[in-house]
A = this chain, B = another copy of it.
Amino acid sequence: MGDSPTPCGRRRCRGKEYSCSMELSLAVIGGKWKPLILWHLRGGGTMRFSALRRSMPIITQKMLTQQLRELEADGLISRTVYAEVPPRVEYGLTEPGCDIIPILEALCRFGRDFENRFGVEEAAPPAVRAVAP
């Protein structure tokens, strides 16, 4: 490996403080929704905001926007705004962004092994959101 993760000697890269490369990686992709966003973009093409949103029904607009901005600031995704009416914005992976995909695949495999080892059950259906009367 060559990179001791001993947390002495804190460094900074793109505004993130960390003590070892792994910490930096987690700072970059560790956000609650970031792996999922990158995952949906893994095909190589671009997706527009609304398509991303549809693919993650749980996420709020605020969080999607926020996480996309951070991923963009970290150089993992590209953002292209088309000056049209109505507006259109397309998101895609950059080269560094593509580098994460194999790791996400490995994470996914680990998760599946974990499930197989310990068993899965259906989650209780999410409490139905009360409709305003």
Contact = CB atoms under 8 A, between A and B. Distances in A.
Interface stretch (A61-69, A78-86, A116-124): A116-124
B108 A13 contact: no
Contacts of A56: 7
Contacts of A89: none
B22 A114 contact: no
A112 B21 contact: yes
10 contacts: A1-B109, A5-B39, A13-B114, A13-B119, A20-B108, A21-B108, A21-B109, A23-B111, A102-B106, A106-B106
Interface residues on chain A, size class: 35 or more
Q: How many copies does the complex hold?
A: 2
A13 B107 contact: no
Interface in A1-55: 1, 3, 5-14, 17-26, 28, 30, 35-36, 39-40, 55
Interface of A: 1, 3, 5-14, 17-26, 28, 30, 35-36, 39-40, 55-58, 75, 96, 99-100, 102-115, 117-124, 126
A61 to B, nearest CB: 15
Which of A8, A35, A55 has most chain B Cβ within 10 Å? Answer: A35
A118 B30 CA distance: 18
B118 A13 contact: yes
